[in-house]
Structures are given as C-alpha cells and as structure tokens.
Amino acid sequence: MDSRISARALASALGGWRTREPAYEALADGIRLLCLDNRLPPRTTLPAERELAAILQLSRSTVAAAYGSLRSTGHIASLRGSGSVTLPLRRHDPALVEPGVGAIDLQQASPSAWPGLAGVMSEAASGAAALVARVGYDVVGNAGLRAAVAERYARRGIDTRAENILITTGAQSAIHLLAAVLLGRGDRVLVETPTYPHAAEALRRAGARLVGVPVTTDDGWDLDRAQQAFARTLPVLAYLMPDFQNPTGRSMSPLERATIRSAADGAGTVIVVDETTSELDIDRPPMGAGDPLNDRRIVRIGSLGKTVWGGLRVGWIRADAELIRRLAAARPAHELGTPEFEQAVAVSLLERFEDIVMQRAQLLGAGRDTLVTALSAALPQWRVPEVHGGVSLWTELDAPLSPALVMDVRTRGLLLSAGPRFSVDGGHERHLRIPFTAPGGDLVRAVEILAEAWPRVRDSAPTSVHRQMEPVI
C-alpha cells in the first residue's frame, strides 16, 4: 500500500541533515539515507516542495534541486499532479557504489554461519521421510524443540516447561506477534534509545507510541529517566535488551535490572526481554545467581540467528502458558508455523550449543580486538567503547556527521548504518555502529576507508556543524 509522509515528519526523520554544502545535495543525501535504511519505504509520497521548504526554512529552489538530484539517481520519480514518490532501491546502485568495487557490507551485524551447521543440516536431511510425514502446519512448534528450549531456561533457574514455549520464524516474527497480541493503537511502549530498529518498526506498526529511555556505552541505562517514564506514561509493554544491547553492546548491572524491574512492576508493565544477543559472551564476568530479571513472569524472545546463522529462521517466545495460547490463536493471521526442517536442525544444534557458544566467543573476540586496534590507531579522535560481547561497537565520532560519513564511504564500497538509524526520537548523529562480525581483513580495510573519508567529510561540513566539533572527552 502506498503511503505519504508529511513535511513535519520528514523533517523530524532527517534530523541533522545539513552536513555538507551545497545544501540541496545534503538534503538529497539525507533522503537517500532514509531510503537506504527503509525508514522511507518504496512508494512513499514525499511532501510538496513548497511544504518541505517551509518546514526546513529553505528556498523552494533548494528543495526542487534536491528532488532533482534524487530523480537523477533513481531514488524518486515525480509525476505532474501526483507528487514525488520513492522507488524500490536497485541492488547495485551506480550512484552509491562504484562499479567494480567489492562491497564490505557491515549493515547486518551477523557473523557467518557456525562451521558445523552444514553437517547438522545433512544429518537432519537423512530423516526427511519422517519430517514430510507430518502435516507441516503447527503454530506452536515441534514438541522436541520446545522441550529443549524449555530445558535451557530451567537450567538458568527460570521454571519453564514446553507449554511455556512457542517456536517462531526468528526473533523478528516473535516481536511482531507479541506486538499484535499485547498492544492496541495508541498504547505506550518503553524502549531503549538507541535500540534495534526493526523492533521499533514492528512496535510502531502495531500502533504503539514509543517512549525512549537513553542507554549509553559509558553510563548504561538512565535510571532516573526510566523510573519517570514508567510512572508518568504507564507503558503497556517495555521492550529491552539487558545483555549486550544492540547497538551499544552494554549489559545491565544488577542495580539497573532491579530498578527497571521494580519500576515496571509498579506501572503494571509487561517486560519483553530480547535475548538474541545474550549468549554472545566474549569475556564478561559471570553475573551469578539472583538476576532480578530471571523471573518466569517476564516474556522472553530468543533465536539462533546471531549464535548460529542468520539464514536459520528459528526463534521462540518464552511466556506463561496462557499468553502462549493467545499467541498461538493469533498466529494464523500472520503465518502458519515454523518450517519443520529448520526445527529439526535446531533440535540438533541445541544438543551442541555449548560448543557453538565457545566458537562464537573466539570468533567475535578476535573481530572485536582487530576492530578496536585498527580504530584506535587510525582514528584516535573517536571514542571506541569497551564491550565484553555482542556484535558491534557503538563508536562516538568527534563531530555529528555519521549520516554524511555513511553516504561518503558507501561510494567507496563500505556499507554501514548511521547512528540515527537506531534512534527512537532523533539524534545520535555522533555515533556509528560498526559490527565486528566480518573477517579481520575486511574490518581493517573498513577502518582504512573510514580514516581516509573522515577528513573529507569534516572539511565539507558547513560552519554550523564546525561549531559543534568540540573534542570528545
């Protein structure tokens, strides 16, 4: 279905777009970035030139020139009487990636497949006759897989049985299903900012109004803001990533967990904990017993996407049995179950899961160390956080130019996501998420491209941005 974005909403999404001269190209790049991030989906009608010019306090000719630039690169089409509409992105856009350059794609923060996966798939395929004898439509999930997932929670001290587990086609499917069942239009949902952007999109699509609580690499969760947000807005749901939060890599301390839990209980809020990155531990000291979030009343989402392979679309929801029944009843409107073959593979993988997690720790640890070393040497003016797990570094630049930098390095074959992509309510132009899931050689080359581009991006920034370029302390 075609949609329309207002001038005010587009201006808000653009944020600090004026990062280079001329202004019309900076505006065009800002809109291109929204298209690349899918924050402006294909077939979205843009505001009229006069309306956008008024909101951005620009001349109409500047906006017209920006739209002209977007037409020239195939990002929009304009029809007399119908306005300007965004177009589906071409896979290899000559305006954005130089021909012949092998792209380093760091937009997806997922490691390559666990090396033993192909063997496990072959084993599962040997039982194909038994698999195809099943009906194939099951909105709850394979009984053996549900039991295996339940056992892992029970080992953590969270009383769980198979009836508390629903198998989904990945974590994103789980988020969509929970949002559809638990939320109504206009309900408030507390989320971290920055956060996992696809979760925010799913919650908004369900009609939710998002309430952001800041989390930073240095200071963690803003507990004062969190307590105020719970008490003032009484959110129906809170979506949180307490372990190796995406994108910051930060994990909640015991105090943060207890404070968030207490505030949510006081507001009557359902806590949904996304644990898709929780087992990507590199060298974090163990939390120990008594985690305030280890409670059977908390809804949990897990998957094998980050630990095993993004192409293995198996996830799950852990909740009380009554909510699982509600989710199963609502699921056929969304999908008719998780594929049987993938579930059979997942059962075998969970039997080997400790070995998988150990291999992942070694892989991610090597990538993290390579990336930290390269960034520290090539871009010492940037602040590189210390992380003990997860998939990425939430790197702080010494100027609010991450969108301009992302657009610049894209033409040199490096694909990244700028800070505002992860924002709930704007900002984060000083931040860049850099995954350390790629091979070491690609990470070193990525830093070389960033280091070569950064002086050029800074020098092309207008005076208004130069005034914000204080050193990061």
Judged against a pLDDT cut of 80, whether residue 124 lies above it is answered with yes
The per-residue DSSP string of 423-464 comes to -SSS--TTEEEEE--S-HHHHHHHHHHHHHHHHHHHHTS-HH
pLDDT at 458: 94
| Cβ 24 vs Cβ 69: under 8 Å | yes
What's the rounded Cα separation, in Å, for the pair 182 and 189?
11
Inter-CA distances, 376 with 57, 379, 444, Å: 39, 6, 11
**Which residues are bridge partners to 215 per DSSP?**
221
Cα Rg of the chain (Å, integer) = 23
Q: What is the mean pLDDT of residues 192-201?
A: 96
pLDDT band at 95 (very low <50, low <70, confident <90, very high): very low
Which two tokens mark 66?
């920006």
- In this prediction, residue 1 carries a pLDDT of 47
Mean pLDDT of 112-132: 92
What's the whole-number mean pLDDT along residues 138-167? 95
What does pTM read for this prediction? 0.90
CA distances from 264 to 223, 227, 240 (A): 12, 8, 12
User: b vs e for 308-327, b when ≥16 Cβ sit within 10 Å of the residue's Cβ?
Assistant: bbbebbbbbbbbeeebbebb
DSSP 390: S
Element housing 227 (H / E): helix 223-233
398-441 pLDDT, tens digit per residue, is 999 999 999 999 989 999 999 999 999 888 999 999 999 999 99
- The secondary element (H helix, E strand) that includes residue 86 is strand 83-86
Assess whether pLDDT exceeds 70 at residue 467. no
Q: pLDDT grade, residue 358 (50/70/90)?
A: very high
Predicted local distance difference test score (pLDDT) of residue 289? 55
Domains along the chain with CATH numbers: 3-86 (1.10.10.10), 104-113+356-466 (3.90.1150.10), 117-355 (3.40.640.10)
